[in-house]
Chains A and B, each alone.
Chain A
Amino acid sequence: MSLLREKRKIAFAMISPSILVIVAINIFPIIFAVYISLHLWSFGRGEPRFAGLLNYEDLYYDGRFIDAVFTSAKFVFFAVLVEFLVGFALAFLFNVKVRGMATLRQVAVLPIMVMPIVAGLVWFYMFNENFGVINWLVTLLGAPKVGFLTDLDVALFSIVLADAWQWTPFVMLVMFAALQSLPEYVYEAAKMDGLNGWQTFWRVTIPMLRPSIMIVIILRIVDSFKMIELVFMMTQGGPAGRTEVLPWYLYVTGFQGLDLGYAAAIAVCMLIIVTIFTQFFVARIGFGDDQK
């Protein structure tokens, strides 16, 4: 027993540097954010003043913050939904062995390489009602101009579209890789069990892809939750706050308003929200229940 304890001690000593590094890199900024969020601190205007939970209390009564939470949720939901469904479908399409498919695949992933801020700029101009090519096409078809970035009911979906343009290829890529690695012989077993194509898809393919699906969804949720560039470039939260997602509100309060304590409180809330959501999916990466 004491030998075991001794071994444990050594083991702990061996890994402690890496634990320290992890704490320093991963945990410290979070702790610091929590610390700042408990203070009133406007950048350049003196030292932080301790304020307890004042920032959180203000957040609770801040309608703009609450709206931003729901706007973010809506954006993440639709963006991830579109990106996943289309990316998933494309992965299957690209999995077909046809000449030229490899080239098409390479072209299809180009949007990922574009800097998000440039993507935002491009989509801003494309959607623009005075210079935009999309509205030009719309009018060419004889339809009235669409306020892609100014219509209360449309703007958020324009941003979803831009986000999907950029990130669907990523989903496609991950799902394509996952499809490629599926064991073919399992499909013969499914054939022996009399599953038709559709049943095989739902009962065999999807469950086997589940870890990849969960991972890609987690990555997209986390990433789209943090999306700011498109809003920055395309709408700055307009019209009437319909595209004001949390990161943009955080930017406005923290980087424009320089109200760092308040911005930190928003950041902490964001962290809590995203953690809760992703844990739901993280729990489903691994081995799960059998289908009944």
Chain B
Amino acid sequence: MSEVQFREVTKRFGGTSVFERISLECPEHRYLCLLGPSGCGKTTLMRLVAGLEQPDEGDILIGGQRVNDLPPSTRNVGMAFQNYALYPMLSVRGNLAFPLRAPVRKRSYSEADIDSRVEEIAHLLRIGWLLDRPVTTLSGGQQQRVALGRALIRNPPVLLLDEPITHLDARLRYEMRAELKTLHANLQTTTIHVTHDQQEALAVADLIAVMNAGRIEQIGPPVEVYRYPKTAFVAGFAGDPPMSVVRMPLRVGDSGLQIDFGGRALPLPEKFARYFPGEPPSALLIGIRPSSVSLVDAQASNAISAKVYAHEMVGRELQLMLSVGDGRIRYRSPEIRRFAVGDIVACDVNLEQAHLFDAETGAVIVN
């Protein structure tokens, strides 16, 4: 049993609270990603599991056992640090063997055990040929594997990964995602992985917990988080690319509810109307995927006037950030055209696929 549970955990640094009474569970054998912007508390949450931080209130359980009072080394967790935290004076072999040779585990492993375990892990991570090299001479990707290997060397039931692949270059990052996934499939280690990269989280996780400002906004399988964001924050943070969340006034027009979309009144699609049976709110947060945005002729009747805020090439696509009213929406087009910042363009927004959120709470109204 190796599920990880937080029960009403509160953590403060000095007078500042990182999070209050947070509860969370990562079931056994699952791969949980803690996803959130920097400073949201995700790393602290993981360090609480490791035992590098102590909770001020609440309990942390691993495999059903309360571990609050256990030192890190006896919690049966392996951890790979963001900066790898390899022992610079040792070789790859020395780093991998270090946890096995630690005095707390004196006589737990024979030299032969250690050798075979090191070989095994090195083989698994394909760093066997590097074993006798000083870690300081390795590339970032190689160091990352060593760090991972060191976390895995004791076969811990729980594996903690702190931004494990953030510092790698894009190609390596892509490779490592697949590898992490394969590794997890083979080892079935309960894994908590901290990242701020939603692509990474979507790619590797069984479960994603989106965190913001010390709160867990949503926890669920990647598809669910991506498709059905429970809050405007999740909508804006998760997804590839994430939705554009814009705040627009809602009015009662001649033919029903209308959204004042950057000066143009767009009728609220019929299917949404039933969510506003009573007095409609004065504004809505509207989540729009880039695929729902199109550029139209300026003379068209449905044209919304927008200003180019930024433009870049993403892969083979042109991505525009358009200012509409007070908000910004993302547009993607396979057609390459030349734009300059400040250009006025006309666009249309298909609200049929929009997600609506409460303008006050950010909670989802309809996905």
- Chain A positions within 8 Å of B, measured between CB atoms, are 183, 185-186, 188-189, 191-196, 199, 204, 207-208, 210, 287-288, 290-292
Alpha-carbon separation in the docked complex, A291 to B93 (Å): 11
Partner of B72 from the list A194, A204, A208, A210 (CB cut-off 8 Å) is A194
CB of B194 within 8 A of chain A?
A: no
A194-B73, A194-B104, A199-B103 known; A208 vs B88 contact (CB < 8 Å) = yes
B71, B89, B94, most chain A CB atoms within 10 A = B89
Alpha-carbon separation in the docked complex, A288 to B136 (Å): 12
Whole-angstrom distance between the Cβ of B161 and the nearest chain A Cβ:
13
A192-B73, A193-B99, A193-B102 known; A290 vs B85 contact (CB < 8 Å) = no
Alpha-carbon separation in the docked complex, A222 to B276 (Å): 86
B52 lies within 8 A of A191 (CB): yes
Whole-angstrom distance between the Cβ of B51 and the nearest chain A Cβ:
8
Q: What are 29 inter-chain pairs, A to B, with CB distance below 8 A?
A: A183-B85, A185-B82, A186-B85, A186-B86, A188-B85, A189-B85, A189-B86, A189-B87, A191-B72, A192-B52, A192-B79, A192-B99, A193-B73, A193-B99, A193-B102, A193-B104, A194-B74, A195-B103, A199-B103, A204-B87, A207-B89, A207-B90, A208-B87, A208-B88, A208-B89, A288-B89, A290-B90, A290-B94, A291-B90
Whole-angstrom distance between the Cβ of B90 and the nearest chain A Cβ:
5
Alpha-carbon separation in the docked complex, A195 to B87 (Å): 13
Whole-angstrom distance between the Cβ of B64 and the nearest chain A Cβ:
22
Partner of B91 from the list A188, A194, A204, A290 (CB cut-off 8 Å) is A290
A183-B83, A194-B72, A208-B87 known; A188 vs B102 contact (CB < 8 Å) = no
B87 lies within 8 A of A186 (CB): yes
B81 lies within 8 A of A189 (CB): yes
B81 lies within 8 A of A188 (CB): yes
Alpha-carbon separation in the docked complex, A246 to B87 (Å): 42
Q: Which residue of A lies closest to B82 (CB)?
A: A185
Whole-angstrom distance between the Cβ of A28 and the nearest chain B Cβ:
36
Contacts of B82 in A (CB 8 A): 185
Contacts of A192 in B (CB 8 A): 50, 52, 72-73, 77-79, 99
Q: Which residue of B lies closest to A194 (CB)?
A: B73
How many A-B residue pairs lie within 8 Å, measured between CB atoms?
A: 72
Alpha-carbon separation in the docked complex, A183 to B89 (Å): 12
Q: Which residue of B lies closest to A207 (CB)?
A: B89
Alpha-carbon separation in the docked complex, A103 to B150 (Å): 42
Partner of B105 from the list A194, A204, A208, A287 (CB cut-off 8 Å) is A194
Alpha-carbon separation in the docked complex, A290 to B73 (Å): 22
- Chain B positions within 8 Å of A, measured between CB atoms, are 50, 52, 71-74, 77-79, 81-83, 85-91, 93-94, 97-99, 101-105, 134, 136, 150
Contacts of B88 in A (CB 8 A): 183, 186, 208
17 further contact pairs, Cβ within 8 A, besides A186-B86, A193-B73, A194-B102:
A183-B83, A185-B82, A186-B85, A189-B85, A191-B72, A192-B50, A192-B77, A192-B78, A192-B79, A193-B98, A193-B99, A194-B73, A194-B104, A195-B103, A199-B102, A208-B88, A288-B89
Q: Which residue of A lies closest to B147 (CB)?
A: A189
Alpha-carbon separation in the docked complex, A189 to B86 (Å): 8
Partner of B102 from the list A183, A195, A290 (CB cut-off 8 Å) is A195
Alpha-carbon separation in the docked complex, A208 to B134 (Å): 13
A192-B73, A207-B89, A290-B94 known; A185 vs B83 contact (CB < 8 Å) = yes
A192, A207, A292, most chain B CB atoms within 10 A = A192
Whole-angstrom distance between the Cβ of A127 and the nearest chain B Cβ:
42
The 7 closest A-B pairs by CB, nearest first: A194-B73, A290-B94, A194-B104, A207-B89, A189-B85, A185-B85, A287-B134
Whole-angstrom distance between the Cβ of B95 and the nearest chain A Cβ:
9
Q: Which residue of B lies closest to A187 (CB)?
A: B85
Alpha-carbon separation in the docked complex, A210 to B134 (Å): 14
B52, B82, B90, B104, most chain A CB atoms within 10 A = B90
Alpha-carbon separation in the docked complex, A36 to B81 (Å): 61
Whole-angstrom distance between the Cβ of B154 and the nearest chain A Cβ:
9
Contacts of B52 in A (CB 8 A): 188, 191-192
Whole-angstrom distance between the Cβ of B104 and the nearest chain A Cβ:
4
Contacts of B79 in A (CB 8 A): 189, 192
Contacts of B87 in A (CB 8 A): 186, 189, 204, 207-208
Contacts of A210 in B (CB 8 A): 89
Contacts of A195 in B (CB 8 A): 102-104
Contacts of A292 in B (CB 8 A): 101
Q: Which residue of B lies closest to A209 (CB)?
A: B89
Contacts of A208 in B (CB 8 A): 87-89
Contacts of A199 in B (CB 8 A): 102-103
Contacts of B85 in A (CB 8 A): 183, 185-186, 188-189
Contacts of B104 in A (CB 8 A): 193-195
Q: Which residue of B lies closest to A206 (CB)?
A: B89
Whole-angstrom distance between the Cβ of A275 and the nearest chain B Cβ:
26
B89 lies within 8 A of A287 (CB): yes
Whole-angstrom distance between the Cβ of B180 and the nearest chain A Cβ:
19
A186, A189, A288, A290, most chain B CB atoms within 10 A = A189
Contacts of A291 in B (CB 8 A): 90, 94, 101
Whole-angstrom distance between the Cβ of B87 and the nearest chain A Cβ:
6
Alpha-carbon separation in the docked complex, A210 to B89 (Å): 8
Alpha-carbon separation in the docked complex, A186 to B90 (Å): 12
Contacts of B136 in A (CB 8 A): 287
Whole-angstrom distance between the Cβ of B148 and the nearest chain A Cβ:
13
Contacts of B98 in A (CB 8 A): 193
Whole-angstrom distance between the Cβ of B346 and the nearest chain A Cβ:
52
Whole-angstrom distance between the Cβ of A173 and the nearest chain B Cβ:
22
